[in-house]
């Protein structure tokens, strides 16, 4: 329940959170405290800002991984993305509690935002499966030709989520891009 999620979230108070690039913690940016908009005397955590080099390195890491991810069969990609949706649901109480404290959402809206994030991972996975990876045969003029419409990944995508639905509106475009084979 959400009360248990609040207890878990409170255990994380005072943590220092680094930026991560390609699995590596980056701790050389400026730090700032994140306070609750509901109670500004409550410091939730300290965050290490990403530097422009961190962003450049993240784009380079995504570019380096893009061929491998794009060539991963869509069935394998969506299996992983469905696991992401499941993990979000399993941790929905903690994530909603953190969102309530960080953004100031009420409990119902925070739970809805988190659940919607999980739904996006499932939705785009379902769409890939329903449409057989978006590889669609097209009409042909003769028996000697083969034409088809195939969805192809573009490469590296960046997503900037807004504050008002921080998890759902970041998860939606990220899940769609990942399902399609983008990094």
Tally the residues of the chain: 183
At residue 128, does pLDDT exceed 90?
yes
Q: For residue 85, what pLDDT is reported?
A: 98
- Which residues on adjacent β-strands are paired with residue 33? 46
pLDDT band at 6 (very low <50, low <70, confident <90, very high): confident
Half-sphere exposure of 135 toward its Cβ, with a 13 Å CA cutoff? 8
Q: What is the pLDDT of residue 12?
A: 86
Provide the 3-class DSSP secondary structure of residue 162. Answer: coil
Task: Kindly state the helix (H) or strand (E) to which residue 76 belongs, with its residue range.
Answer: helix 74-90
Please tell me the distance from the alpha carbon of residue 10 to that of residue 152, in angstroms, as a whole number: 43
Q: In angstroms, rounded to a whole number, what is the distance separating the alpha carbons of residues 19 and 170?
A: 17
Mean pLDDT of 45-51: 94
Question: In the predicted model, what is the mean pLDDT of the chain?
Answer: 94
pLDDT of residue 91: 95
Q: pLDDT-derived band of residue 17, with 50, 70 and 90 as boundaries?
A: very high
Percent with pLDDT over 70 in the chain: 100
pLDDT-based confidence at residue 161 (cuts at 50, 70, 90): confident
Rounded Cα distance between 179 and 120, Å, is 10
**Please, which residues bridge with residue 35 across strands?**
43
* pLDDT above 90 (res 29): no
Three-state secondary-structure class, residue 131 = coil
Between CA 142 and CA 151, with CA 148 as vertex, the angle to 5 degrees is 170
- pLDDT at 1 (0 to 100): 77
The pLDDT, as a whole number, for residue 97 is 93
Q: What is the pLDDT of residues 72-126, one digit of tens each?
A: 999 999 999 999 999 999 999 999 999 998 899 999 999 999 999 999 999 999 9
φ, ψ (nearest 5 deg) of residue 38 = -80, -40
pLDDT value, residue 164: 87
Report the percentage of the chain scoring pLDDT > 90: 77
């Amino acid at each position: 329940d959400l009360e248990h999620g609040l207890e878990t979230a409170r255990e994380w108070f005072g943590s220092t959170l680094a930026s991560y690039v390609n699995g590596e913690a980056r701790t050389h940016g400026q730090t700032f405290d994140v306070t609750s908009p509901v109670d500004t005397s409550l410091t939730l955590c300290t965050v290490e800002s990403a530097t422009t080099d961190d962003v450049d390195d993240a784009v380079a890491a995504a570019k380096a991984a893009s061929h491998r991810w794009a060539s991963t069969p869509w069935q394998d990609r969506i299996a992983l993305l469905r696991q992401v949706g499941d993990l979000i649901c399993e941790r929905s109480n903690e994530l909603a509690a953190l969102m309530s404290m960080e953004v100031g959402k009420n409990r119902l809206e925070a739970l809805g935002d988190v659940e919607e994030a999980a739904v996006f991972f499932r939705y785009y996975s379902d769409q890939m499966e329903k449409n057989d990876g978006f590889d669609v045969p097209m009409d042909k003029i003769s028996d000697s030709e083969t034409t088809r419409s195939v969805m192809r990944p573009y490469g590296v995508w960046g997503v900037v989520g807004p504050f008002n639905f921080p998890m759902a509106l970041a998860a939606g475009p990220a899940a769609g891009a990942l399902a399609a084979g983008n990094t």
